[in-house]
Amino acid sequence: MKLYIEIFLTFLRLGAFSFGGGYAMIPLIERDVCTTKKWIEREKLYDIFSVSEALPGAIALNASTFVGYSIGGIWGAVAALLGNLVPSVLIVFALIASYVHFKDNTAVQNAFNGIRPAIIALIVYAAYKIAKSGIKDFVTVIIFVCAFVACLVFVVPPIPVIIAAVVAGIVTKMVRRKSKKISDDERGGQL
């Protein structure tokens, strides 16, 4: 029970004090889960972020649920999801109630103008960290470049890009296994 409370409180704090959505939350989750608490390895966390991005829904909630599940099973997933969700719901209700009264206030507008560049920096940092673990060889570089060009130049929606990348990864792995098996068979025949 103590672990579930700790998971809940960790994601409650992350949900309450991170701005900019799931991508901006990635470095904070990484710091708390991998560095501070040492609950899971970074490579596994990057895999969780990749899967979370591919699924429908908010990446922060998906990632929190998967991380919680990796740490504490089903109840860990529930604790992490609720911890991440509760602050957002409460903050949104409070903002809805107060935004109508303060939307024209210059201090509020200036605060949002200051937050935006910081959020962009957090997203770029998260992309850099994920790229370091995900782009490992020539094939993954090609997949990255094709996906980036498809999104940026041809404005292809994310779902087809993700599906194409999944297919490319599976085909690449199958080709590598087959070529390894052929080379192993050739070496076996020479002995």
- What tens digit of pLDDT does each residue of 90-133 get? 988 888 888 778 878 898 889 888 988 988 998 898 888 888 88
Q: Where are the domains of the chain?
A: 2-134, 136-191
pLDDT: which is higher, 15 or 8: 8
Helices (H) and strands (E) in the chain, counts: 7, 0
Query: Is the alpha carbon torsion for 20, 26, 27, 29 positive or negative?
Result: positive
How many Cα atoms occupy the beta-carbon half-sphere of 54 within 13 Å? 15
- CA distance to 44, 123, 129, 136, per residue, from 117 (Å): 29, 10, 18, 29
In one letter, which amino acid is 45?
L
Looking up tokens 């370091």 gives 132
| Category of 110 on φ-ψ map: left (φ > 0), alpha (ψ -120 to 50) or beta | alpha
Residue 74, pLDDT score: 97
Q: Do the Cβ atoms of 25 and 14 come closer than 8 Å?
A: yes
First to last CA, the chain: 59
pLDDT at 140: 93
Q: Kindly state the tokens that stand for 100.
A: 């109508």
Instruction: Taking each helix axis as running N to C, give the angle between helix 59-102 and helix 42-54, from 0 to 180 degrees, rounded to the nearest 10.
Output: 70
Q: How far from the centroid of its chain's Cα atoms is residue 154's Cα?
A: 24
Residue 191 pLDDT exceeds 60: no
Q: How many CB atoms lie within 10 A of CB 140?
A: 16
Alpha-carbon span 67 to 88, nearest angstrom:
18
Mind listing the pLDDT tens digit for each residue in 64-83? 999 999 999 999 999 999 99
Q: What is the pLDDT of residues 13-55, one digit of tens each?
A: 998 887 767 788 888 899 999 999 999 999 899 899 888 888 8
23: CB partners within 8 A, 6+ apart: 59, 122, 123, 126, 127
